[in-house]
Every structure is written in structure tokens, then in C-alpha cells.
Amino acid sequence: MATSDSQSDTTDNLTRLEKAQIPEDLKEETGVDIVPTSDLEASAGSRTSDDEVPDPFLVDWDGPKDPNSPMNWSNTKKARQLIAMGFNSFLSPDANLEAEIRPLSSSMFAPGEADVLAEFNSSNTMLGSFVVSIFLLGYSVGPLLIAPLAEIYGRLPAYHICNSLFLVFMIACAVSQTLPQLLVFRFLAGVAGSCPVALGSGTAVDLIRKEKRAGVMAIWALGPIMGPVVGPLAGSFVCANIGWRWVFWILTIAAGVMLVTTFLCYRETYAPVLLERKALALRKETGNEQYRSKFDRNLPRKQVFYMACVRPLKLLFLSPIVLCMTVFGGISYGYLYLMFTTITAIFEEVYHWPSEMTGLAYLGFGVGCVSGLIVTGQVANKVAVKHSAQGRFLPESRLGPIVVSCWLLPIGLFWYGWSAEKHIHWIMPLIGTAIFGCGLMSLFLCINTYLVESYIQFAASVTAANAVMRSLLGAFLPLAGPSMYETLGLGWGNSLLAFIALAFCFVAVLLKMYGGKIRTHPRFQLDL
């Protein structure tokens, strides 16, 4: 009997030892509930059991406190990069296109869009809307190119090259002589401008531990979301007073400042690239070609490039978790632009605001976004700290806020649509957009953090998959807006959107409950 108890204790001890040796990334992928000794991102290297001989030529960080690991950089160095990244993500995204050319209802155009069509002798309203949407089409193509290249060559070259090209294409937009030229250059600007959205989550993962990651990602996410709010506010004055071309020149000046700032502040943060550089230095120093990064799969370069290129598409279409989350986020993002197709017309025609002041109507959405940012960031960080301390942190820990905040989307849509339909005081539709903005910001943040926690080593690829779906739906859904609102009206048109959002709210609850089982199911494990 004593022998049996002894064997049982030995087995338990071995089981605990084996679990303790599972790296953090595998723990999060498999769902093993153990108390983490450290983050994957700051791990001291590959742990081995006592009977295994470590590979002396496998290059890793020099312990968990290696100062060369981005996770261990000083707070000042991290803050410098993150603040610059926030500016980068605010300027480059589709925020600026809403500033210069705002889509309206089918009955009228915004000053900027009308000026563009008049200058190029066009009366095609579909082309007017496409001038807006084509930037987002660039956003759907860019991440598929940028994310794979960044995971091979590093995030830093991708940032610098794309920011430089963004500046060039902004100038090209400003001097366009025909409408096709403007469309092409705006598309290329969208491709280059998608870089901070494609790589921002990955950069945050490189630098910040999971207990504080949600708050940092919330600040980064504010750029892509708040841009469409600040854009119309500034664009309504610029287009009405000095013309649509000056919007591009102002953006060019800002892009130049951004380019200089990022060259001064950005450093490479992607661990596989940094460790490969370390291995290369050791090979040169010692003359021994056996040194290799711990992330090196020992595959031909051509195969590595192919795998990197198809990785975002595999994640998007072969992972049910990624597909559900990206579709939910993409539809919600499309709702944002559908809502924006009516805001200007409502406040000009119903509430008789002058065209220069209609940009203020977007402030309700901005207030909601900031509120969602603050609340969701704080709640998500507290949950991460609590679950980590209890040894049960999983990617699904990031979905807590979404179970509550997702209901704000249909509520905001109902509120905004019917208050505008019934011509209630102007503050009421603004409150509706604020409620919607709060829910959208929380949703945006939870989806991003959940996806990067689920595929932490390939954060850029999974973020690219998310950006592609979001940009495609954001580009095409608004094209249906004018005809939908003309047929159904503002009340029932927004109600239709709200009912669809309600269905996705139940999907979010189910993913919170069963997402872990689906994510770790052997059938859905991908060879990335």
C-alpha cells in the first residue's frame, strides 16, 4: 500500500514537472492550466528536462532578464516606440479619407466629394462613394503583403518602407489630374497605410506583458477608430474653405513629420528576427555555422516565404475562431461607415447645421470610443492579472468585456436610427452614436487581444487576417447604404442592422463559453 502511494506521489510530481516545463506559448495554445513562471515573450530559453542535453548551438535570450529582449527594454524606450506607433496608426488609417471626402446619403454630397466630382467633370455618385471605399480596399490587400514580409525580415523595415511610400502616395493624390489617377493613388496609399494596423498588435505583444497588454493595445486601437471621428471634424472646415487638395497637402506634411518621428523612435522588436541576427553574429564571430535561432525551422528560404504568405489566409479561412471573430468585427466596422453615410445629411437637412459644423456631429461617436477604451482596457487588464495569479489565464480570458459590451451595438443602432427618423432633439442621435462607439471600441479591442493571444508568435499574420476582413466589409457595406436607407428609412434601416448585430451578440457569448474547446480541438490545429 505504501509502495502504491509512493508511486502515485512520484507520478504526480513528474506530471507537475512536465507541466512546469511547457513554454508559455504552448500553454496558451493547448489550454493547460498552470501557474506561469514567466511570459513566453520573456522566457529564458527552451526549457529541457534533466535527462535531455540542451543544444549548445541553439540561440536564445541570455536569461529571462536579458536587456536585449524587447520585453526587458526600459519603460522610456518602450514608451517612445508605443507613442510613435499610436501617432502612426492615427495618421495612416482610413481616418484621413473620411476627412477629405465624406460620403453622404443618396440625395446630396459632402463639400469635399462634390468638389472632387465637379473638378473632374463627373456626376457618377457610385464613383464618388468608391473614392472613399478604394482606400479601404488597399487596406484589405496591404496586410496580406506586409505581415508575411515583416515576419521574415522584421517589423522595422516594413514600417519604414510603408511610411515612406505613404508619404509619396499622399503627394501623388494631391497633384492628381484625373479621377482614375486619384483612385489609383488612393488605393496605393491604402496599401502602404495599412502597415501600422497590420503590425501594431504584434509590436505591442513584443513589448508588453499580458497583464498590461490590453491597456496598451487599447491606446493603439484608438488611432484606427478615432480617425474617422477627427477626420470629418477637420475635413469639413478644410474642404469648405481651402479645397479638397489641401487635405492631401496637410496629410503630406503630417506624414513627413510621422516619417521622421518613426525613424528616430522605432527599433526592431520581433524576437525571431532579433535572435536570427544574434545567431548570425555568433556565426561570424566563431566561424561555426551551426549556430541558429531557436525559431529557425531549418527550411528553405522559398518555403519559409510561401508559408508566411499563406499564413494569414489559412488563419482566416481554416480557423473557425478567427473567421467568426473577424466577420463579427468586420460587420461592426462596416456599420460604422454605414452610419457615417447618414450623419452629415441628417444634421444639415434635419437640424439645419451649417456644413462647416457638421463635423461636430461625429464627436458623440468619439466620446463613446474613449469611454469604451478606458473601461475595457482597465477591465481586461484586471482580468488578466487575476487569471494569471490563479494560473488559469487563457486567450478566452480576453473575451469577458465583449459579453457585455457587444449588446451596445444594437442598442446604439436602434437609438440613433429612430431618434433621427422621428426628428427628436439633435442630442438624441448623438447619444445613440456614443453608445454604438463605446460598444465598437470594446469589441475592436477584445477581438484584437484575443486573436493575438491565441496565435502570439504569428500576431502580425492573425492581425492581418482581421484587418483584411474588416477592411473588405468596411469598403463594400457602405455602398449599399444609400439604397437601403432610401427604401427602409433611417429607423427601419438601422433596425435591420441592429437585428443582425443582435444575432452576433449570441455568437460572442457562445465563443466566450466554448471558444477554448474549439480553438484547441485537434481538427483545427493549423500547420503555420
With a cut of 50, say whether residue 169 has pLDDT above it.
Answer: yes
**HSE toward the beta carbon, residue 510, CA cutoff 13 A:** 11
Closest C-alpha among 52, 2, 37, 47 to residue 10:
2
| 297 burial type by CB count under 10 A (0-12 exposed, 13-18 middle, 19+ buried) | exposed
Cα–Cα distance measured from residue 269 to residue 71, given in angstroms and rounded to the nearest whole number? 9
Q: Report if residue 25 sits inside a domain.
A: no
Mean pLDDT value across residues 362-370: 85
CATH classification of the domain holding 123: 1.20.1250.20
Q: How far is CA 24 from CA 62, 217, 352, 450, 515, in A?
A: 17, 20, 58, 16, 19
The C-alpha cell at 408 is 451596445
Q: What is the reported pLDDT for 266?
A: 93
More confident residue, 254 or 101: 254
97-111, 168-182, 212-226, 422-436: range with lowest mean pLDDT: 97-111
Q: What is the reported pLDDT for 12?
A: 46
Q: Report if residue 291 sits inside a domain.
A: no
Domain count, the chain: 1
* Percentage with pLDDT > 90 across the chain: 19
Give the number of other CB atoms < 10 A from CB of residue 524.
13
Query: Phi/psi at 59 (nearest 5 deg)?
Result: -90, 125
Domain range spanning residue 495? Answer: 72-273+303-524
With a cut of 90, say whether residue 415 has pLDDT above it.
Answer: yes
Q: Report if residue 293 sits inside a domain.
A: no
Mean pLDDT value across residues 169-187: 87
With a cut of 80, say whether residue 132 has pLDDT above it.
Answer: no
Mind listing the pLDDT tens digit for each residue in 301-336?
788 888 888 898 899 899 998 998 899 888 888 888
Taking the whole predicted model, whether its pTM rises above 0.85 is answered as no
The C-alpha cell at 435 is 453608445
Do the Cβ atoms of 413 and 495 come closer than 8 Å? yes
Q: Report if residue 67 sits inside a domain.
A: no
Q: pLDDT class for 241, splitting at 50, 70, 90?
A: low
With a cut of 60, say whether residue 101 has pLDDT above it.
Answer: no
Q: Report if residue 355 sits inside a domain.
A: yes
With a cut of 80, say whether residue 53 has pLDDT above it.
Answer: no
Q: Report if residue 427 sits inside a domain.
A: yes
Q: Is 65 helix (H, G, I), strand (E, B) or coil?
A: coil
For the chain, give the mean pLDDT.
78
With a cut of 50, say whether residue 137 has pLDDT above it.
Answer: yes
Mind listing the pLDDT tens digit for each residue in 7-52?
444 444 434 434 434 444 434 433 333 333 334 443 333 444 444 5
Q: What is the reported pLDDT for 31?
A: 39
Q: What is the reported pLDDT for 155?
A: 93
Q: What is the reported pLDDT for 408?
A: 94
Mind listing the pLDDT tens digit for each residue in 332-346?
888 887 877 678 778
Q: pLDDT class for 211, splitting at 50, 70, 90?
A: confident
The C-alpha cell at 83 is 507613442
* Percentage with pLDDT > 70 across the chain: 77
Q: What is the reported pLDDT for 5?
A: 45
Q: Report if residue 516 sits inside a domain.
A: yes
Q: What is the reported pLDDT for 234?
A: 62
Query: Phi/psi at 58 (nearest 5 deg)?
Result: -85, 115
DSSP string, 105-145: -TT---HHHHHHHHHTT---HHHHHHHHHHHHHHHHHHHHH
Torsion angle of the four alpha carbons 521, 523, 524, 525, in this order, in degrees rounded to the nearest 10: 90
For the chain, state the CA radius of gyration: 25
| 395 burial type by CB count under 10 A (0-12 exposed, 13-18 middle, 19+ buried) | buried
Q: What is the reported pLDDT for 157?
A: 95
Q: Report if residue 425 sits inside a domain.
A: yes
